[in-house]
Structure 1
Amino acid sequence: MFARRCARLAIARTAVPLTSYLARVRPYSSAAPSYEHILTSIPKPGVGLITLNRPKALNALSSPLFKELNAALDNYDNDKSIGAIIITGSEKAFAAGADIKEMAPLSFSAAYNDNFIAPWSHLSNAIRTPVIAAVSGYALGGGCELALMCDILYCTSKASFGQPEVKLGTIPGAGGSQRLTRAIGKSRAMELILTGRNFSGKEAGEWGVAARVVEGGKDELLEEALKTAETIAGYSRVAVLAAKEVVNKSQELSLREGVEYERSLFHGLFGSKDQKIGMTAFAEKKKPEWSHE
């Protein structure tokens, strides 16, 4: 027992520097699986928190890290008590890029045959629960792409984003050229990707990449992200899932097709218990008690 306690203390000392804030939310935490490259917790009711935890490598993204990240995302997504997920890093780095040591020796055939980097898109392809990125410090290359995959992006004003792959003789490989262009337009995205220039958290807010820019440090950022996640988690799960789905469809369909798709889900929600609960509670001026059905 003493050895286990010492091991936990050793892990805590090497974790990202959020101990002061996490201490304040610890009463809500529950047991979580043990990972090597990430930390997981439930800091608020209904909110799953994933912290990238490779501090010596500035949270550089690798296949082993994504294997753990995808597993943690699946666990939260399948947990009916979780209504929102936050992904964050350290004060210094959300993720400073991909692990170059892993990529450098790859040949075309190895990358192509193994479909290298494809599992990195699991978040955007398979996770239905809303995911918030809380970005402090560097979010470069794959780190920028991971943040862009999330449904909502919060950052500090001093965060640093970028797709600098051209400096390494390559291009973004996890959706950066597509999502960044959709977020800020072709001309600006072209300039950033062709020059490899970074852009600040302040610019991310001004350009619409970030939903909110927080003044201060990582604790203030995480506090804002937790407020939003807890709000989302407090609503009907079925309504939240539908809302996320129709917004994502707006990125794929024409306006007419998108409106028709939205209307079909809107009609469908009249078959849910929570639509009746929500509207009845509103009419009776009561707080709804969601069934999530």
Structure 2
Amino acid sequence: MTFENIILERQEKISIITINRPESLNALNGATISELSSALDLIENDTDCRVIIITGSGQKSFVAGADIKEFSDFGQNEAEQLARNGQNLLFNKIENLKKPVIAAVNGFALGGGLELAMSCHIRYASENAKLGLPEVTLGLIPGYGGTQRLPKLVGKGIANEMIFSAKMISAEKAKEIGLVNEVYPIENLLPKTIELASIISKNSPQGISKAIAAVNASDNQNGYEIEIKSFAELFETDDKKEGVSAFINKRKPNF
């Protein structure tokens, strides 16, 4: 498949998706969202790939936001469809993907860019990264899950402050409040992200898939039940048999 707005690469068991619209600071437009969705479908069906990294081109911007010119003249119905399609095509898809997705936030992550990073399972950031949800300065609110995911990551009070004030925060502040996992110099960001992805790729893909579903269910009333059932279902898998056998025989598992 040929892409115009993203670059898809493979390094062993790791797929790297780079949003490549440097002329617009990698802003998300409809075509880019569609290409990201298609790339994720390809990767999810690729049994040789275990982990996905999403980053932006250059050293200035991960994703600077949505492409506002695309929806500047929308009415209510069109706007609702825009948000619903975006969440279904991309943001919710990432969160519920069976393979872990790591965001390598290499600069500005604003609006839809921060929402994209928050939909990923893990976030690493460069020291120059700036993160924020500036939608209220446009008379809007986040529409790709920002009002839902941010409070779960940082707490309701900090989320309210960030959304209401529309202020940007530094990468170090983002780490302090739990919005990103680690912060690195820009030149080390992708290597460190690949290093983590490589560690993850050696673990049980069946176990990780169940873990993603269980963690995502942690906000539900039946989260514990989902964990119990997922734990039990793994006892019938080849990965569990291999993992336990490797442990008993004091060797490394080969998943």
Please say whether Structure 1 and Structure 2 have the same fold, judged by a TM-score greater than 0.5: yes
- Cα distance in 1 between the residues matched to 2:148 and 2:234: 32
Amino acid at match of 1:262: E
Aligned residues: 252
- Cα distance in 2 between the residues matched to 1:278 and 1:261: 22
Amino acid at match of 1:38: I
- Stretches of 4+ moved more than 4 A in 1? 113-116
- Cα distance in 2 between the residues matched to 1:113 and 1:167: 22
Matches within 5 A, 1:144-223: 144-214=114-184, 216-217=185-186, 219-223=187-191
Deviation, 1:260, is: 2.8
Assess if the C-alpha contact under 8 Å between 1:120 and 1:174 holds in 2: no
Gap runs ≥5 in structure 2: none
Deviation, 1:109, is: 2.7
User: For structure 1, which segment, 71-80 or 266-275, has the greater mean C-alpha deviation from structure 2 after superposition?
Assistant: 266-275
Deviation, 1:166, is: 0.7
- Cα distance in 2 between the residues matched to 1:242 and 1:191: 34
Give the corresponding residue for 1:138: 108
Deviation, 1:34, is: 2.3
Give the corresponding residue for 1:266: 231
TM-score between the two structures when normalised by the length of structure 1: 0.82
Residue 19 (structure 2) aligned to one of 52, 59, 72 = 52
Give the corresponding residue for 2:212: 244
> Given the superposition, is the C-alpha separation of residues 71 and 122 from structure 1 closer, same or farther in structure 2, using an over 3 Å criterion?
farther
Assess if the C-alpha contact under 8 Å between 1:136 and 1:158 holds in 2: yes
Residue 105 (structure 1) aligned to one of 41, 60, 73 = 73
Aligned Cα RMSD in Å? 1.5
- Cα distance in 1 between the residues matched to 2:86 and 2:195: 32
Matches within 5 A, 1:11-22: none
- Cα distance in 1 between the residues matched to 2:14 and 2:214: 22
Assess if the C-alpha contact under 8 Å between 1:158 and 1:202 holds in 2: no
TM-score between the two structures when normalised by the length of structure 2: 0.94
> Over alpha carbons, which structure has the higher Rg?
1
- The SS at the match of 1:117 is helix
Give the corresponding residue for 1:95: 63
- Cα distance in 2 between the residues matched to 1:113 and 1:70: 17
User: For structure 1, which segment, 87-96 or 116-125, has the greater mean C-alpha deviation from structure 2 after superposition?
Assistant: 116-125
Matches within 5 A, 1:40-79: 40-43=8-11, 45-79=12-46
Amino acid at match of 1:258: G
Amino acid at match of 2:231: F
Bigger relative contact order, structure 1 or 2 (CA pairs below 8 A, ≥6 apart): 2
- Cα distance in 1 between the residues matched to 2:232 and 2:81: 44
> Given the superposition, is the C-alpha separation of residues 73 and 113 from structure 1 closer, same or farther in structure 2, using an over 3 Å criterion?
closer
Assess if the C-alpha contact under 8 Å between 2:33 and 2:86 holds in 1: no
The reply to whether residue 36 of structure 1 matches residue 1 of structure 2 is: no
Matches within 5 A, 1:109-124: 109-112=77-80, 115=84, 117-118=86-87, 119-124=89-94
Amino acid at match of 1:244: I
- The SS at the match of 1:39 is strand
